[in-house]
Amino acid sequence: MEARVTLGVDGALCPLMIDTRVTLLDALRERLDVTSAKKGCDHGQCGACTVLVNGRRVLACMTLAVALDGAEVTTAAGLADRDGLHRLQRSFIEYDAFQCGYCTPGQICSAAGMLAEAAQGWPSYVSADLTGPVELGDAEIRERMSGNLCRCGAYVNIVAAIQEASREQAR
């Protein structure tokens, strides 16, 4: 069965006629040629496919595209604007927070979603105070980013890059 779906992808309106079983990841990569979301495990375990849907992070390999009719999808490529790279993209470069780079788009989208969650005061499993502002120390960032795996092991630099972007956001 096919359905008509319109997605906003990185600021562009994208009407599609797709099978109702198509994941957002496959719609992005195979139908719209948006390749910044990566297909890693295709089982929701690695986070390489993480994108933002209406500002919230989702695993594109586990989300049916038909369920997102009218949604705004932002990939790592869509985080940059006319003025240049997003603060997370800049800090990932500055802190050398990638090696092979395969997981990087998902890491950056997840970090953008995580920073928004923390700014809204959402606690995590390791948050010391469930009612106060969220302090993004190493443990807090590691917990919040635990769904995004890096086979190269660039975690130390990823955490440092996110901390820098967090400080920049606070300014």
The second-level CATH assignment, the architecture, of 87-170 is: Orthogonal Bundle (1.10)
* Helices 87-94 & 104-119 angle (0-180, nearest 10): 120
Averaged over 102-122, what is the pLDDT?
A: 96
Task: For 57-95, write each residue's pLDDT tens digit.
Answer: 999 999 999 999 999 999 999 999 888 999 999 999 999
pLDDT above 90 for 17: yes
Question: What are the DSSP calls for the chain, one per residue?
Answer: -EEEEEEEETTEEEEEEEETT-BHHHIIIIIS---SS--SSSSSSS-TTEEEETTEEEEGGGSBGGGGTT-EEE-HHHH-BTTBS-HHHHHHHHTT--SS-SSHHHHHHHHHHHHHHHHTT---TT-S-SSSPPP--HHHHHHHTTT---TT--HHHHHHHHHHHHHHHH-
Q: How many CB atoms lie within 10 A of CB 96?
A: 12
| pTM, to two decimals | 0.95
pLDDT above 90 for 129: no
47 within 8 A of 149, measured Cβ to Cβ: yes
pLDDT above 90 for 132: no
- What is the domain class of 2-77 according to CATH? alpha beta
pLDDT above 80 for 133: yes
Domain boundaries, the chain: 2-77, 87-170
Distance CA 82, CA 48 (A): 25
